[in-house]
Structure 1
């Protein structure tokens, strides 16, 4: 910027990756001339956010951001492409200090934690406070259906052992990892099917498609959920010394025995993408966000150990602000 003395005029052609690649030569020639006459740089490729000094200033790469990505998801993509240290957004420092980030990034905002995984690996946070033998945990997962949203109990950081409850692709999977052992699946429970409209999954406008792609009308696997489909699942979990009782949406209710070798006293949350081993573009992203809302941990006497829920006053304030914003949006969109 300093060498130009101003913000340079830049252009990003639609569709990405087509110029200098498979475009008709006559069309390419006209585009190339007009772009270079009118702009000082051109983001032609959709490969990643990072461009080094060797890059062609008229054939730069850009990151195509999906609307459902969190701030830290974007930052994680930038770190992945640049291989440089990136400062992630933390949010509420007072709430964040209760948690330890094992991997990935966590943003604490209002009554939510947005946990972002690192590429191809799980994002994980642990509550620093050790919990008693008997307690209750209530929370809601609000991440995309295609992905792994995990809750850990009896977590022992020293031995890396735990019992794990995972909401993965609309199923509940219970696994355990004993000290010195591997992860072993114990039980699996399907949840009720989620209804969704195929037409709501739109084409990514900054991507090149073949004729076959466009004629199909969609790049989704009709037997799978689209990756941007979200669903809120409310969990109520009662932890005892030898068992846990799991309730999801007041529909699924299961009891799982706890192996006596699991002696940890911490809880945690995890976020991981689902590896589909498919060519479908919808599963291409190996970074995943989970939203954890309204965490409430209480002891056997119903005394609060930890919560990020709104107080009654905060809830009224939030709802009032949300209503006002909806009214403003309505007038902007309508008039």
Structure 2
């Protein structure tokens, strides 16, 4: 009887081992979106038409910015080449129809992940890639020091955005009144504020320095009010219905975070291929088959980091101390440094 128990237990162990072996060697089937992107030979990325530091064409027409680099990282993970991406400029009202219809493959366009967008709009969101919140830009000579002093103010904002909802909520909570001026075009919105059509400009707080530096004739005439008045976790959106594509976008973002946490950068990516750390070697595709599980080359993350760098590289490139728009990282630091960025383990 005792021997039979061992035999039965042995069978269980053999079955478990077989399942583990099968899971370890599984390769993702190519989903519809990845197939389309590969056949096209290019990733289509929805982009903000002009949000300084995040996405905008430079003087030569080349797209640059934090969110631009995230798209290039995805392209590099797929093709081994971060330049195989086309940026499609989208207004705040155009962005959701564009991702829903397949006009673009991925939407990083400073989009806040919310329950309604996740469900009613049929979107899946990557992990948050930038944490920000509502802020207000005002003229220094107005002497406004707090949101309470904006009672009765005219406030400029973009339509179809969480900014509209957040302003309404915050003013209602404080029993304050305001008059909205809603303008779709980003340049026209900034121009309306600068021209004095409104008393304050409401935007994500980390977008306001760009308006102050690039759109106002004299940046020192404008100040950003203290305080952050909403939660705006910015994330990349993809359509419901293609789990493999969602996995690719999600894990490229996690991979950029994990690269920073493990000391991998654009500058040392080649050297780190020779790392003695088995986790780093797995991440970079020297060992393991994690790319195959996504339907990509096993050096998917190496290609992404080699193309645009780790999360830290990307942040410092666009918001570091030596840039025109220096932004302290704050909560956009790794969890190991007191921030909210937490890349899930690649194993």
TM-score (norm 1): 0.23
TM-score (norm 2): 0.22
User: 1 or 2, which has the higher strand percentage?
Assistant: 1
User: 1 or 2, which has the higher helix percentage?
Assistant: 2
